[in-house]
Amino acid sequence: MSIQVKFFASLREQVGLSDITIEQASTAAEVWDLATSKQQQPDNLLVAINLEYAKLNSPVNDGDEVAFFPPVTGG
Amino acid sequence: MSVIISDQYFEPWHMISEHQQKSELASQFGATATFVGSMRDFNDDVEVCEMVLEHYPEMTLRYLEKLEHDARQKWPIIDCLIVHRVGHIKPADAIVAIACWSAHRRAALDACNWLIEELKFKAPFWKKESRPDGDVWVEHNTAG
């Protein structure tokens, strides 16, 4: 099993990682714990699985790309 | 219909005008609604010298294309253009341009308004401002 994990913007700096691969997880929350060594989740944490917004309890599968990021501020 | 994400400076009014002139559907346009967002040299009463706009490239493009698709489902839009800048941006530079064309004004106006609000609160872009006392991530959008 292989899951690509990405972090963006202030969260990338906070976590100290832009991307990492993990080998085993069942939910996005578990991906967070494994990728960040259980750093505390920010209250406003957003998550996407395979480029679609998801929830922390959403399931993840082999080959998925999971991204974590703060509230968006474009436009 | 076009979605463009670019790290290059762009002239919003030129792009909107050019898009309309080149559209094969231009003879059906009765209304054009536009929104252009530009970089201010201040935020929260603090000077802002420059900005870096980060994004999640694959998701951003997909999300903007989804917004455009959804807008077409909601309103009888004939054509639509969304342009968003990323990378290093200077004050007065355009950040985003949206144009909606329809046969009558209401659809174009409502679709354009909906698109910019959805984009600002859901499309994965993030601003980092360079201020005299250091660089700061923008944590939230203004109400409007």
Q: In chain A, pLDDT over 70 holds for what percent of residues?
A: 100
Which distant-in-sequence residues (6+ apart) come within 8 Å of B117 by Cβ? Answer: B144
Residue of B nearest to A52 (CA): B59
Name the pLDDT band for B89 (thresholds 50, 70, 90): very high
pLDDT of B143 above 80: no
Q: Which residue has the tokens 């578990």?
A: A30
CA distance B3 to B81: 6
**Residue-by-residue DSSP string for B34-100:** EEEEE--SEETTEE--EEEEEE-HHHHHHHHHHHHHHHHHHS-EEEEEEEEE-EEE-TT-EEEEEEE
Name the pLDDT band for A68 (thresholds 50, 70, 90): very high
pLDDT of residue B140: 85
Cβ distance of B120 and A8 shorter than 8 Å: no
Name the pLDDT band for A49 (thresholds 50, 70, 90): very high
**Residues belonging to chain A with any Cβ–Cβ distance to chain B shorter than 8 Å:** 6, 8-10, 48, 51, 53, 67, 69-75
Q: What is the value of pTM for the model shown?
A: 0.95
Q: Determine the angle formed by the axes of helices B57-74 and B105-122, rounding to 10 degrees.
A: 150
Which distant-in-sequence residues (6+ apart) come within 8 Å of A47 by Cβ? Answer: A28, A32, A53, A54, A55, A56, A58, A66, A67, A68, A69
The pLDDT tens digits for A15-46 are 999 999 999 999 999 999 999 999 999 999 99
pLDDT of residue B71: 98
Contacts of B96 in chain A (CB under 8 A): 74-75
pLDDT of residue A57: 98
Largest CA distance in chain B: 52
Contacts of B84 in chain A (CB under 8 A): 74-75
Question: What 3-state class would DSSP assign to A54?
Answer: strand
Name the pLDDT band for B45 (thresholds 50, 70, 90): confident
Question: What 3-state class would DSSP assign to B11?
Answer: coil
pLDDT of residue B50: 97
Q: Would you say A22 and A31 are in contact if contact means Cβ atoms under 8 Å apart?
A: yes
Question: What 3-state class would DSSP assign to B121?
Answer: helix
Q: Would you say A75 and B96 are in contact if contact means Cβ atoms under 8 Å apart?
A: yes
State the average pLDDT over residues B35-61. 95
pLDDT of B51 above 80: yes
Q: How far is B1 from chain A (nearest CA, A)?
A: 19
pLDDT of residue B141: 84
State the average pLDDT over residues A42-62. 97
CA distance B82 to A22: 36
Q: Report the mean per-residue pLDDT for chain B.
A: 96
CA distance B115 to A74: 12
